[in-house]
Structure formats: structure tokens, C-alpha cells
Amino acid sequence: MEIVAFGVQTDERPILEKAFAGRHQIRSLDVALNRDTAPIAHGYEIVSAGVTADLGADVLQTLAAGGTKMIAQRATGFNNIDLRAAADLGMSVGRVSRYSPYAVAEFAWGLALAVNRRIVMASHRTRNFDFRLDGLIGRDLRGRTAGVLGTGRIGEAFTEIAHGFGMRLLGWDLAENPRCLDLGMAYVTQERLFAEADLLTLHVPLVADTRHLIDADALAAMKDDAILINSSRGGLVDTVALVDTLKAGRLTGVGLDVYEEEGAYFYADKSLDVIGDDTLARLMTFSNVLVTSHQAYFTEEAVDQIVEATVANVEDYLAHRTNANMLVTRGQLPAAVR
């Protein structure tokens, strides 16, 4: 069987093609799956989608009309998929429920260190042979408070690193993580977390209840010199409110690997285009803001695990089996997803 895969990165392509070799043919495309590109999948029973895919009802209808019966998403989050529409169309939808948590946690720490110590600004200066230290002063993290919003596998990995830095640990989640408790984390309310964190990092999924979790009120509650890191999902942060906060001279630094409207920009070269998103354009003007293009997951280990899980999802679908990664199985929504 030939499978078409959308949103395949250059470094990902050989890993994906090697994993499917001897099993199925795979057509790798670098374009994201959306309403404009969905017709390309005509005639393909199985479609694999990248993290920035738009799998709303209209896209799913186009895919189904072209014969697609199974979506194999190479990502954990599924807020971009209309699962009910997929079920109504009789489709199967699989995702990757887990991969290396260290990939994302370590990258989140990379963002935190970069904005705290002004590393990007310093690099730009020294490339121009400007070796002044003006405006580059940072802060020791030892003894300061790390606020971890979401203490699942990634939040736990972030907490272990924070513990190594000698930070005070505060956390919030629906359920307490025993490993984080062993490291000395105190679980507190969101309000207290916002108020006391010197470094606030987000590791919760994007669902209805968490959209714009970091809104104007949350930002107002944070310390004026706090650092905010988001390597989870862009929609967790109200970016307009964040820009207003930065314009007011608040927050020492912000590191964002995700953006709520990233689908229109991330994973594409927009350097010669006029950027129509005024919020994103304004965000880029702040010297204490670092934006990267949803690459926190992008390590060899994590991509290997993502591809292995994707292959397993495809094989299980073809064998009429189900597994824990399946969000929709031949039109049936699991009880946990309904």
C-alpha cells in the first residue's frame, strides 16, 4: 500500500522512509495538510499528518471523499482534529501518545536559559564584533522559584532539571506526581503559582478548559520580572494579552516554541513575505522574546519514537486491531474521548 505523509521535515524524511521500507511505500511531502492541500491525498486510504495539520471537518470531508479511511498523526496533541467529524465519516484516527519527554523539557530549559542570559542578543552582537555587556545582565536561577504548570512526563523531566539547578519547586496539576513530590515540589493553586514563580513553564495539553490559560489576569498576577516559557501548545497563551504585558515593560523574558496561529507560518520560509499577523510581527520586535518554530520535540530519539508509533498505528489499522494511540477506530470514539 502507498501512504501519503504531509508536513515531513527534511531531517525526518529518511527516518520515516526507512521505518516503512519493506512494509509500505510512502510518499513524503513537505507541505502541511490543510483545506488547500487535502485534494493531494485523493486515492490514498491512509494519510499521515504532521503537527501543524488542519484536520477540521471540511478537510476530513475532502479526505473521506477521496477515499481516505485512516489518519495517522505524527504528534501527541489532537486539538487540531475534529474527532466527531472523523467518527461520523467512519474514519480511524491515530496519534503518538508519548515520546521522549526529555526532548521537550530540555528544549524548554534551553529557551529559559537563553532569555535569562540574553544569549541570542549576545550572539548577534559578537557576530558584528560588538563585545559590550550593556543590557546582557541575567540572574542566578539557584534559589529562585520554578513554577511548573502541568507535571506529567514532560513536566516531571523539567522539574528534575530545575531540582539540579537548586530551585524552589512549585507545581500545579489535576493529580500530583509522586516523583515531583520526592524532588521537593509543593503543589499549589494556579493563582499562587502565577504570583510566586520566577520561571513559569507550561506543560498542559490544549483543551477547552486550558485555552488562554495564560490570559490577561494570569499575566497581571505574575511577577514583573518573571520568565514565561511555553513549549506545549500556542493556544495556552493569549498572545494579544502577552504583547500588551510586554509593551508595559513587564516580564524579564519570554520563550515560545509555539504560537496560537502557528499553522499559517511555522515550518515554512516566510522571509520574503509580508507578515499579515500583526500580533506575531509585534511579538518579534521585543528583544527579551525568543520565538522558535515548534521544534522542542525534534530530537533523533523523539522522532524515532514518533515514527515507530506511527508505523504501529498503520499496521494495527490494517490488521483490524486497536491500541492506546487510536482516537477513533473505524468510526467509533473511545469512551474517554466522547
**Among positive and negative, which fits the CA dihedral 150, 156, 160, 161?**
negative
Task: From 191, 194, 167, 170, select the one nearest 180 (Cα to Cα).
Answer: 170
H-only helix segments in the chain: 13-20, 57-65, 83-88, 101-116, 119-127, 153-164, 178-182, 190-196, 216-221, 239-247, 278-283, 300-318
Cα 7 from Cα 27, distance rounded (Å):
11
Number of H helices, E strands in the chain: 12, 13
Catalytic residue among 179, 262, 282, 330: 262
Q: Tell me, yes or no, if 320 is annotated catalytic.
A: no
Q: Is 294 an annotated catalytic residue? A: yes
The answer to whether 258 touches 291, Cβ cutoff 8 Å, is: no
Which three-class secondary structure state does DSSP give residue 278? Answer: helix
233 is catalytic: yes
Catalytic residue among 233, 260, 300, 315, which? 233
The amino acid present at 27, given as its one-letter code, is R
- Annotated active-site residue in 118, 144, 168, 294: 294
Q: Which residues are catalytic?
A: 233, 262, 294
